[in-house]
Amino acid sequence: MRIAALIGAVLLILVALFQGEDSPDSWFAIQHVEVEGDLNYATKAELLKDYQPLIGRNLLTASLMSIKSIAVSPQWVESAEVRKVWPNTLQILVREYRPLAYWGDRQLISTGAVVISPPALPNLPLPRLYGPEDTSDLVLDQFGLISQVLSATSLRIEKLSLELRGAWNITFTNGVRVKLGREEILERLQRFIAVYKSDLSGRIDQISSIDARYPHGVAVAWKKTK
């Protein structure tokens, strides 16, 4: 009996409220959006601006799917958990993409192989990957394979590029540029590493570029001496 009376009282209060000047739509209209999560690239102010279209929606009738579609729309947001806090607040827990490399000069590739286009590129110590349109997956896979080969050396990739005709080129963080061509990429890389360790590592500042497209060795282009 007490539970039934309590439910009845709550219903009467709601009816009384809805019969006033405020309609049910305005009573449950979203007035506040709270952003939570560890943010390294986007700011709460930027996300709140992106989430402005949520303000005024009916918290009671708005589907979580429609809210989530807006919650994950900012470029830095990989996923979002949404919680309705009655009567008029949304809490959004954001997880950002983690950038792995630059893609071209205006985009980034995340650790999940997703290309993102943030409004402003951050200055990060990441390698730069280049390739024709729609080749980001291919270039990223090759980057992973080459990085595995290089893991036992001190060489690290600064720039990896795939040309339109299918040729691969690497620039290392020490400034050495290597042409690998279109075939036997890892085998050619291994040959370069062997020559680099035995003959070239002590003369980095004298090297202009290296052509590793030869079957039994590499060709070194030396910087011109003044």
What tokens does 200 get?
Answer: 């070239």
Q: Do domains 26-96 and 99-222 have the same CATH topology?
A: no
**pLDDT score of 8 more than 50:** no
What is the CATH topology of the domain spanning 99-222? Rossmann fold (3.40.50)
What tokens does 47 get?
Answer: 């996300």
Percent of the chain at pLDDT exceeding 70:
88
Confidence of residue 137 (pLDDT cuts 50, 70, 90): very high
Average pLDDT over residues 53-69: 90
Average pLDDT over residues 146-167: 96
**pLDDT score of 183 more than 50:** yes
Name the CATH code of domain 26-96 (choices 3.10.20.310, 3.40.50.150, 3.30.565.10, 3.40.640.10): 3.10.20.310
Q: Where is average pLDDT lowest: 58-62, 113-117, 186-190? A: 58-62
The domain locations on the chain are 26-96, 99-222
pLDDT on residue 28:
84
DSSP 48: H
Q: Give dist(CA 174, CA 196) in Å, integer.
A: 12
Q: Give dist(CA 89, CA 59) in Å, integer.
A: 8
Give the tens place of pLDDT for each residue, 23-54. 556 778 999 999 999 999 999 999 999 999 99
pLDDT on residue 204:
84
